[in-house]
Amino acid sequence: MNITQILFWFLSVVAIFSALMVITSKNPVYSVLWLIVTFFSISGHYILLNAQFLAIVNIIVYAGAIMVLFLFVIMLMNLNNETEPQKHRWLKMAGAVAGGCLLLVMVAALKDTDIKNQQAMVNEGTIGLIKNLGKELFTTYVVPFEISSILFLSAMVGAVVIGKKE
Amino acid sequence: MEKKNDMPINYYIFLSIALFSIGIVGVLTRRNAIIIFMCVELMLNAVNLMLVAFSKMHYKAALLAGDVNGTAGTDGQLFVFFIMVVAAAEVTVGLAIIVMMYRNIHSVDVNFLNRLKH
């Protein structure tokens, strides 16, 4: 077992454990903090796959901007253990069984596919670096890139219009 | 190309399925609208991880086929980039809606919103 495999298993365990803590924490603030841990471990996976641009973007955009927004809204509403609405015990169990069934079906369907002998290249390969991604983004994908700026503009206007007091 | 540096794609598939299922369980078992929204983000991230792993899988397949300085698999990583862009736009609008809802009914409980009127 070399260092790459050790890191893979460590990051996987951290990701799944913190994802479970997100949905089991009673306090919404703890949920947000555990979700940040999940995003950092997913970024670790990106670095392991040598997708360094996406790893940094994931940390800056998700763990940095989006999660701060969530934390800000939760603290603005002053949510905590007492105000947290709880579903009935049987409904929770039904939800867990439904999700478990999905997990079971997907794993059973995909464990014997043709793809199982394929390998994902770890630690090397230059396609995840900024040089290659930037070249591709500003040549082949330049139209979607510009359209996404319009999407951002409309999202910004939409957020302001929705949030405005009338 | 030594074999020890590569991970089987199956492991990434199963990890992504696990994270996605955890997100679904969260959506089904919580009543707080913000937590439900966070679980949707978790599902998006599971899909992103899968796309990056597949992109590196295709890159390796292209290398083994003799395409030495090719860029096979770049599309997958750019898709992840665009998913992140859309997710960021989605979060701004979604959180604005949740704040608006809190201002009207003083709660983020989705059970109060099952009638589309008050």
* CATH code, domain with B106: 1.10.287.3510
Q: What is the number of structural domains in chain B?
A: 1
A151/B contact by beta carbon, under 8 A: yes
Helix axes B74-105, A130-137, angle to 10 degrees: 80
B1 is a domain residue = no
- Is the Cβ pair A28, B89 closer than 8 Å? no
B67/A contact by beta carbon, under 8 A: no
Could you tell me the pTM of the whole model?
0.90
Distances (CA, A) of A39 to A5, A72, B91: 20, 18, 16
**Range of B103's domain?**
8-113
Distances (CA, A) of A148 to A58, A145, B40: 17, 5, 21
Do the Cβ atoms of A145 and B79 come closer than 8 Å? no
Distances (CA, A) of B34 to A70, A73, B109: 8, 9, 9
B65 is a domain residue = yes
Closest CA to A116 of B51, B66, B14, B21: B14
Residue A159 and residue A92 share a domain? no
B55 is a domain residue = yes
pLDDT score recorded for residue A154: 94
For the cut 90, the answer to whether the pLDDT of residue B66 exceeds it is no
Q: What is the pLDDT of residues B75-99, one digit of tens each?
A: 889 999 999 999 999 999 999 988 8
- Is the Cβ pair B81, A92 closer than 8 Å? no
Of residues B114 and A146, the one with the higher pLDDT is: A146
- Is the Cβ pair B100, A159 closer than 8 Å? no
> How far is residue B53's CA from residue A106's CA, in Å, rounded to a whole number?
17
Q: Which tokens is B107 given?
A: 């709660």
Confidence of residue A60 (pLDDT cuts 50, 70, 90): very high
pLDDT score recorded for residue A54: 92
Paired sense of beta strands B6-8 and A119-121, if any: antiparallel
Looking at the partner chain, which of B19, B92, B107 has a beta carbon nearest the beta carbon of A16?
A: B19
Mean pLDDT confidence for A125-151 = 89
Helix (H, G, I), strand (E, B) or coil at B66: coil
B45/A contact by beta carbon, under 8 A: yes
* Neighbouring C-beta atoms of residue A160, cutoff 10 Å: 11
Side chain identity at residue B33, one-letter code: A
Residue A95 and residue A135 share a domain? no
Residue A145 and residue A107 share a domain? no
Residue A133 and residue A76 share a domain? no
Residue A95 and residue A56 share a domain? yes
Q: What is the number of structural domains in chain A?
A: 2
Helix (H, G, I), strand (E, B) or coil at A145: helix
pLDDT score recorded for residue A10: 93
Q: What is the pLDDT of residues B39-55, one digit of tens each?
A: 999 999 999 999 999 99
Closest CA to A63 of A20, A18, A125, A121: A18
**Range of A146's domain?**
129-166
pLDDT score recorded for residue A111: 83
pLDDT score recorded for residue B2: 47
Strand partners, B7: A120
> How far is residue A62's CA from residue B26's CA, in Å, rounded to a whole number?
19
Residue of A nearest to B57 (CA): A120
Residue A110 and residue A93 share a domain? yes
